[in-house]
Structures are given as structure tokens and as C-alpha cells.
């Protein structure tokens, strides 16, 4: 149980770096990492583009996709496009590792039931993103 990290592309940090942080974030969201399973996959643009079209009906790549699990202890799967994260990190002037962590948090919050369609929900989700990104056991400074 807990977070399984799959890296189909090269990462700027060891998989364990992301696994530890996801498990802390799960605790902050009141999940027991020993009682839930979650897959975090770092993939290329082509895989994300294919899944984005298939499941969201949208052409092109996106930065992160979240797929809810089957229920029970299966929380779901988060897929992150590392090339898209790299482009965004350059655009926003952040480190790739920090951008990947921000996307992982964003995907995790979707799996935890958060949404950002309405302004009120978006603000709530942003507050939780900041909380998880700046948690004492996580990254000390937040990504913008």
C-alpha cells in the first residue's frame, strides 16, 4: 500500500523523494498511507496526449491527469507529463522537481475529491495546494 512511483522518463530526483512526500500529503489529507494505494506515474507527452483525448475528449498534451481508483483502498492514479512540466518550469522560472511536485499535489487533490470548476472550489483547492506544498515535512517554499 502507499504510493507507488513509476518513472517512464528520467526524473530530477529519486522516486523515493516523491513517494515520501506523497505519503506525508496523504496523512495531511487524513488518509493512512498504509491503508490506501496510489500510483504516481511520470510519463512522456505522447502517453498523456493519448489519454487526454481518450478520457477527456481534448486534443493535445496536458500537465497532469488523475484517474480515480476502483474504491475501497484504491485511491487511483496520477499521470504527469515530464516534458510539459519542464516547459512550465521554464515558463514560471521554477525548478523541474518543484513543478513536478506541484502537479503531483494537484492530481492528489483531485483524487481526494477537490475540484476547481467554480471560484469557491478553486480557492479551496488552492488553499490545500499551498498547505501541502508548504507543509513542514514537505517542500518549504511553494510553487506559483
Give the residue from 46, 47, 87 showing the smallest Cα distance to 67: 47
Residue 117 DSSP code:
S
**Beta strand 37-43 with 2-7: parallel, antiparallel or unpaired?**
parallel
Does residue 93 or residue 134 have the better pLDDT? 93
Q: What is the pLDDT of residue 72?
A: 84
**pLDDT per residue over 9-45, tens digit each?**
999 999 999 999 999 999 989 999 999 999 999 999 9
Which CATH number belongs to the domain containing residue 108 in this structure? 3.40.390.30
Q: What is the pLDDT of residue 143?
A: 38
Phi, psi (deg, nearest 5) at residue 131: -60, -45
23 occurs within a structural domain = yes
140 occurs within a structural domain = no
According to DSSP, the residues that pair with 66 across neighbouring strands are 78
Residue 131 has pLDDT above 90, yes or no: no
Phi, psi (deg, nearest 5) at residue 50: -60, -45
20 occurs within a structural domain = yes
Q: How many Cβ atoms sit within 10 Å of the Cβ of residue 13?
A: 14
User: What residue numbers bound the domain in which 57 lies?
Assistant: 2-133
Amino acid at each position: 500500500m502507499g504510493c507507488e512511483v513509476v518513472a517512464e522518463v528520467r526524473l530530477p530526483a529519486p522516486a523515493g523523494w516523491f513517494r515520501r512526500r506523497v505519503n506525508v500529503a496523504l496523512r495531511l489529507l487524513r488518509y493512512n498511507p498504509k491503508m490506501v494505494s496510489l500510483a504516481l506515474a511520470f510519463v512522456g507527452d505522447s502517453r498523456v496526449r493519448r489519454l487526454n483525448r481518450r478520457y477527456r475528449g481534448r486534443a493535445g498534451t496536458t500537465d497532469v491527469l488523475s484517474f480515480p481508483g476502483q474504491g475501497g483502498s484504491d485511491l487511483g492514479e496520477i499521470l504527469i507529463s515530464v516534458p510539459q512540466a519542464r516547459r512550465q518550469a521554464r515558463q514560471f522560472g521554477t525548478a523541474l522537481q518543484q513543478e513536478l511536485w506541484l502537479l503531483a499535489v494537484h492530481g492528489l487533490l483531485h483524487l481526494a475529491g477537490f475540484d476547481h470548476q467554480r471560484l469557491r472550489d478553486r480557492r479551496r483547492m488552492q488553499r490545500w495546494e499551498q498547505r501541502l506544498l508548504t507543509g513542514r515535512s514537505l517542500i518549504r517554499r511553494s510553487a506559483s
